[in-house]
Amino acid sequence: MRIETFSYRFAEEILQHPKFITAYNELMMVCKDCPVPVYKGKSTSQQNLEVIQQIMNTYFLLRFKNLGWDTEPLVSPDLYEDALRSDFRKTYVDSTTGEIVLKVQIEVEFGNVASSYRNYFKFQLSFSYNLADICILIVPSYALSKKIDSGVSNFEKIKREIPSAKLSITVPTLVIGLFEDGISEWNVKNITEDLGILKGSNKRSYKEHCKIVQEYIDTLTVD
């Protein structure tokens, strides 16, 4: 995957500091390794919709989990059942002093553009409660989003919008855009033509769905 970034309130510059470069490199690696899972004919009515975003979501879930990220962390200290949750969070500790040096929170967004505004709120909430120092929003490019579904959040739109929220979004935020690079396309129809499995539609198919994605990840991490 080719990636582009948009640094809001110097988020990328902070992450590229030698003290935090491990976190930055980890993020870049995971995003660049993300596949473009293609299933031509996914939609009989809209032929351009050929990317299965559920596989991309599961890729990030399994990859970040394997790298020690917390999944679905609360975005506030509240313990209520209806409390908001983020996608991922990781706390980086100085190996010599044991001091917490950085708390990074991530949202992966392949859904409707309206979800982006909820993500901004969750970022700001975590920042205000000192649960996150820097937030990351991972989204598809406009071209890739058009292959996922209509009205999907995209990098170009977010890049235009965030600066206008200067007074309401104070947390340093790095937006990572995922762009097709011509080599990341993964024809998942060759694995199975069962869309239920590829989408992980139910408990039975989700297990097989995760196995497919994990096998892809294993090919990346093999020595």
Distance CA 218, CA 221 (A): 5
pLDDT at 160 over 70: yes
pTM (predicted TM-score): 0.94
DSSP β-bridge partners for residue 85: 74
* Predicted confidence (pLDDT) per residue in 27-61, tens digit: 999 999 999 999 999 988 888 999 999 999 999 99
Tally the domains of the chain: 1
Q: Is residue 223 part of a domain?
A: no
In percent, the amount of the chain with pLDDT more than 70 equals 97
- 16-25, 35-44, 112-121: lowest mean pLDDT where? 112-121
pLDDT at 111 over 90: no
pLDDT at 223 over 60: no
pLDDT at 222 over 70: no
Task: Domain of residue 139: give its range.
Answer: 2-218
Q: What are all long-range contacts of 70-79, with beta carbons under 8 Å and residues at least 24 apart?
A: 73/105, 73/131, 74/131, 75/105, 75/122, 75/125, 75/126, 75/129, 75/131, 76/125, 76/126, 76/129, 76/131, 77/129, 77/131
Q: Which residues have CB under 8 Å from 167's CB, separation 6+?
A: none
Residues in the chain: 223
> Where residue 156 falls among pLDDT bands split at 50, 70, 90?
very high
Average pLDDT, the chain: 92
* Predicted confidence (pLDDT) per residue in 168-177, tens digit: 889 999 999 9
The DSSP element (H or E) to which 139 belongs, if any, is strand 134-140
Question: The CATH number of the domain where 22 resides is what?
Answer: 3.40.91.20
Q: Is residue 111 part of a domain?
A: yes
> Where residue 114 falls among pLDDT bands split at 50, 70, 90?
confident
Q: Is residue 27 part of a domain?
A: yes
> Where residue 80 falls among pLDDT bands split at 50, 70, 90?
low
> Where residue 165 falls among pLDDT bands split at 50, 70, 90?
confident
